[in-house]
């Protein structure tokens, strides 16, 4: 990619990130809870710059964050020891994201954030901001890509190449060879 295109893409992504963080910061004063966090900032980087990555799909973003946040909230109640609780929630979060096909690396940091904050808030004070933040990020990425990349986010997965069994069958019937039969 030419430097001019990289500069344009980087500048647009940087400006979009500025606008997204600004909006989330104002949402905090309106909604009276913190919506912005370091894991959501990392999510925004993926959504703006690697939108076609499987881990950037809305399902992974929203459910991965909700799963790990909920797990940490439950962990605070069941495992109040910060070292044991954090380690258990972090490891279990990764395991559950893989098993539920919702793996999203930035979401793995939610138990760390929640345990290190030391805050003992009602569960919804962790879960609602996570839900609001992830829904905002997905909607923002959708608008950004429609306006600036002229593609719809989430990007559809690429079609799988035809299987070799299908090509062998068509070749044996004289198709795909210009009408000539193969030996």
For every one of its 183 residues, what pLDDT tens digit does the chain have, with 9 covering 90 and above? 789 999 999 999 999 999 999 998 888 777 666 778 899 999 999 999 999 999 999 999 999 999 999 999 999 999 989 999 999 999 999 999 999 999 999 999 999 999 988 777 888 889 999 999 999 999 999 999 999 988 888 876 666 666 655 544 444 444 444 445 554
From CA 23, how far away is CA 61, in angstroms rounded? 19
Closest CA to 16 of 174, 149, 160: 149
pTM: 0.81
The greatest distance separating any two alpha carbons of the chain, rounded to the nearest whole angstrom, comes to: 74
From CA 74, how far away is CA 49, in angstroms rounded? 33
From CA 69, how far away is CA 46, in angstroms rounded? 19
From CA 153, how far away is CA 163, in angstroms rounded? 28
């Amino acid at each position: 990619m030419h430097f001019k295109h990289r500069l344009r893409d980087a500048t647009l992504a940087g400006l979009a990130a500025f606008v997204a963080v600004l909006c989330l910061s104002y949402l905090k004063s309106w909604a009276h809870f913190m919506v912005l966090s370091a894991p959501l900032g990392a999510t925004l980087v993926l959504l703006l710059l690697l939108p076609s990555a499987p881990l950037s799909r809305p399902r992974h973003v929203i459910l991965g964050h909700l799963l790990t946040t909920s797990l940490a909230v439950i962990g605070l109640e069941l495992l109040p020891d910060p070292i044991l609780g954090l380690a258990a929630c972090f490891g279990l979060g990764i395991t559950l994201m893989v098993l539920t096909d919702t793996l999203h690396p930035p979401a793995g940091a939610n138990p760390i954030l929640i345990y290190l904050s030391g805050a003992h808030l009602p569960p919804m004070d962790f879960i609602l901001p996570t839900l609001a933040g992830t829904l905002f990020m997905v909607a923002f990425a959708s608008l950004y890509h429609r306006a600036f990349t002229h593609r719809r986010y989430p990007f559809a997965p690429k079609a799988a190449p035809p299987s070799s069994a299908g090509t062998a069958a068509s070749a044996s019937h004289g198709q795909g060879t210009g009408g000539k039969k193969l030996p």
